[in-house]
Structure 1
Amino acid sequence: MGLLSELKLIVPWGHIAVKVWGSQKNPPVLCLHGWLDNANSFDRLIPLLPQDFCYVAMDFGGHGLSSHYNPGLPYCFQNFVSEVLRVAAAFKWTRFSLMGHSFGGTVSGTFACMFPEMVDKLILLDAAPLLLESNEIENILTYRRRSIEHMLKVEASQKSPRVFSPEELLQGLLSRNSHLTKDCGELLLQRGATKVTEGLVVNRDKRLSLPENIFDFMSKDQFVHSTRRLQASVVMIKALQGYFDVRRENDNIKQPLLFMVDTLRSTLKERFQYVEVPGNHYIHMNKPQTVAAIISPFLQGLPRKTSSRL
């Protein structure tokens, strides 16, 4: 199944760029990429999935080929959630499935809890549907302050975008993302950078910094309450060598993930599937066949295998 079209959906600050695979007459699946990634994140996975669906991969605002937010408008988590609703409205979807990797998975999970009647199936790729504050409560105000200070600093800067050589940009990306292979890094940069006379400039908005600066963290009670609103069937695919926490400093603390999985399992019962797979955070790019073998029967509503437990 090849890429069908590239579209630009008009929004108040410009446009949201999307890629479309399959007929728009088929049931839609909206695909949300990770922090600072882009829609190319799904290029290797989508062709392996059932062809009787329409897959739409979007670039979040400030990422990939989507417009940057206007000066003075901050990147906050709820804005990214609202982008999902904007895309659904543009396609006139009343019900659809969501597939999200990492940050995109958390946006997907939050949307599915806020607009439960709209989401049929929820696919989480090395992602938590909502983020607990248990590891972060003492840091939340620091994150909020850091986000504001960074935004004002970037907006006050008059520097021209830095120009990189292709090799320099790729090596920088790989050094910051040890789970990315060279091929996958090159794939993301095809959409994440623009050619200029002297080399390449990065497309993403410089105001975007660390994901924890804009995440909405919640208590365990809030998580339980939110999970009860879910109407979707959920599959959570956890990479064994992936990440367990939004901050790598806490990555050896797995209790929040255990709590989330247990809550989802006890609340959703047969509507929840948890699967652990060997691989790292970019499992959907590095081993798309492994991920597709789990997602395909889930999308088609086929009998599921027994969940793999933590």
Structure 2
Amino acid sequence: MGENAPQGPLDRRGKGEAGLLSELKLAVPWGHIAVKVWGSQKNPPVLCLHGWLDNANSFDRLIPLLPQGFHYVAMDFGGHGLSSHHHPGFPYYHQSFVSDVRRVATAFKWTRFSILGHSFGGTVGSMFACTFPEMVDKLILLDTIPFALDSNETENILTYKRRNIEHMLKVEASQKSPRVSSPEELLQGLLSKNIHLSRECGELLLQRGTTKVDTGLVLNRDPRLSLAENVFDFTSKEMFLQFIRSLQANVLFIKATQGYFGVRRENDNKKQPLLFMLDALRVILKERFQYVEIPGNHYVHMNEPHLVAGFISSFLQSQPRTSSRL
């Protein structure tokens, strides 16, 4: 695998679609984290983080349109795609996925890198960039929110914690074998729950998100992930302000005009949390913050990747602005 291979990989596959260099499995205590790699490891690294219940194939159509002078790594979060599920009884938390990012960075021996995150991946990437500010030089947020803002967070937090535990116990108690479905049945189920996803892009996600068995396909993802509150940490306005004050990265926020404003879809039309975060990012980060709106929906980076590729390319190739922090 050469001198530049990351520590702990279990296997590697040959060159694949659209310049894909390799597929790796990075060893972790409960199994492995699966990643897809484009470009030379001698180039500046960009870690690509997918959305909730998606997988690394989210970036297959976008990365070939981005500058070739970077090292792109798209990972599957734990319990997603081809990454191992957590052991029974070991739950998923938002911090678990932030830790996944740190493990991948350690495996590749990165001390500083950029993050490109879509939806849930942007929320995880933001928390990582605030927790390890010295490690992230550029943060690109694709139709996401840096944090799941909840103005009633102090009132609701016990409800979220209780629901997390009850949901985990319910799933574990069922002990059902994975349901076998036809490819079309799975695709229609995915599209019905993701109205912003095109048929072609739905098929792309299912390529990595399913395993073929004798009578059809089964979903790879861990069923314990099916409740949003299990994987998001909701924060108050005060916590949000404290978090982003620690950011050292330059931030590019790309918002799709027909995308999602919040994590929970019933709140999509409530723009106040988004507007609050945008105002705070502008005030605190100043010249280190850029915001653009583009036509398209929540999966614009898959459905019409050319609409976002230019903004991302310019941002990656721009000289980093010096942090205003003393």
User: Structure 1 residues 283, 136: closer, same or farther in 2, change over 3 A?
Assistant: farther
Alignment partner, residue 9 of structure 2? none
> What are the Cα deviations for residues 186-237 of structure 1, in whole angstroms up to 9, with x where unaligned?
0000000000000000000011112233311122121111111100000000
Alignment partner, residue 68 of structure 2? 51
Greater mean deviation of Cα atoms: 295-304 or 84-93: 295-304
The code of the aligned residue for 1:190 comes to Q
Write out aligned runs for 1:57-96 (5 A).
57-96=74-113
Alignment partner, residue 197 of structure 1? 214
Alignment partner, residue 10 of structure 2? none
TM-score, length of structure 1 as denominator length:
0.95
TM-score, length of structure 2 as denominator length:
0.91
Alignment partner, residue 210 of structure 1? 227
Alignment partner, residue 258 of structure 1? 275
The whole-number CA distance in structure 2 between the counterparts of 1:35 and 1:4 is 25
The whole-number CA distance in structure 1 between the counterparts of 2:162 and 2:30 is 25
Unpaired runs of 5+ residues, structure 2, are 1-17, 322-326
Alignment partner, residue 115 of structure 1? 132
> What are the Cα deviations for residues 74-131 of structure 1, in whole angstroms up to 9, with x where unaligned?
1000010000000000000000000000000000000000000000100000011122
Greater mean deviation of Cα atoms: 161-170 or 222-231: 222-231
The code of the aligned residue for 1:54 comes to H
Would you say 1:163 and 2:180 are equivalent positions? yes
Alignment partner, residue 324 of structure 2? none
The whole-number CA distance in structure 2 between the counterparts of 1:167 and 1:199 is 10
SS of the residue aligned with 1:275?
A: strand
Asked if structure 1 preserves the Cα contact closer than 8 Å seen for 2:250 and 2:320, the reply is: no
Aligned identity (percent) is: 78
Would you identify which runs of 4 or more consecutive aligned residues in structure 1 move more than 6 Å? none
* CA-based RMSD: 1.4
Alignment partner, residue 46 of structure 2? 29
Alignment partner, residue 271 of structure 1? 288
Q: How many residues align?
A: 304
The whole-number CA distance in structure 2 between the counterparts of 1:274 and 1:95 is 23
The whole-number CA distance in structure 1 between the counterparts of 2:278 and 2:55 is 27
SS of the residue aligned with 2:68?
A: coil
Asked if structure 2 preserves the Cα contact closer than 8 Å seen for 1:212 and 1:247, the reply is: no
The whole-number CA distance in structure 1 between the counterparts of 2:319 and 2:84 is 39
Deviation at 1:137? Answer: 5.1
Alignment partner, residue 149 of structure 1? 166
Asked if structure 2 preserves the Cα contact closer than 8 Å seen for 1:297 and 1:303, the reply is: no
Alignment partner, residue 122 of structure 2? 105
Among 171, 184, 195, the alignment partner of 2:201 is 184
The whole-number CA distance in structure 2 between the counterparts of 1:288 and 1:135 is 36
SS of the residue aligned with 1:123?
A: strand
Unpaired runs of 5+ residues, structure 1, are 305-310
Alignment partner, residue 28 of structure 2? 11
The whole-number CA distance in structure 2 between the counterparts of 1:281 and 1:176 is 13
Would you say 1:230 and 2:247 are equivalent positions? yes
Alignment partner, residue 15 of structure 2? none
The code of the aligned residue for 1:282 comes to Y
The whole-number CA distance in structure 1 between the counterparts of 2:319 and 2:303 is 25
The whole-number CA distance in structure 1 between the counterparts of 2:102 and 2:320 is 30
The code of the aligned residue for 2:97 comes to F
Deviation at 1:150? Answer: 1.5
Alignment partner, residue 308 of structure 1? none
Deviation at 1:56? Answer: 0.1
Would you say 1:287 and 2:317 are equivalent positions? no
The whole-number CA distance in structure 2 between the counterparts of 1:61 and 1:134 is 29
Deviation at 1:136? Answer: 5.3
Asked if structure 2 preserves the Cα contact closer than 8 Å seen for 1:144 and 1:214, the reply is: no
The whole-number CA distance in structure 2 between the counterparts of 1:158 and 1:38 is 24
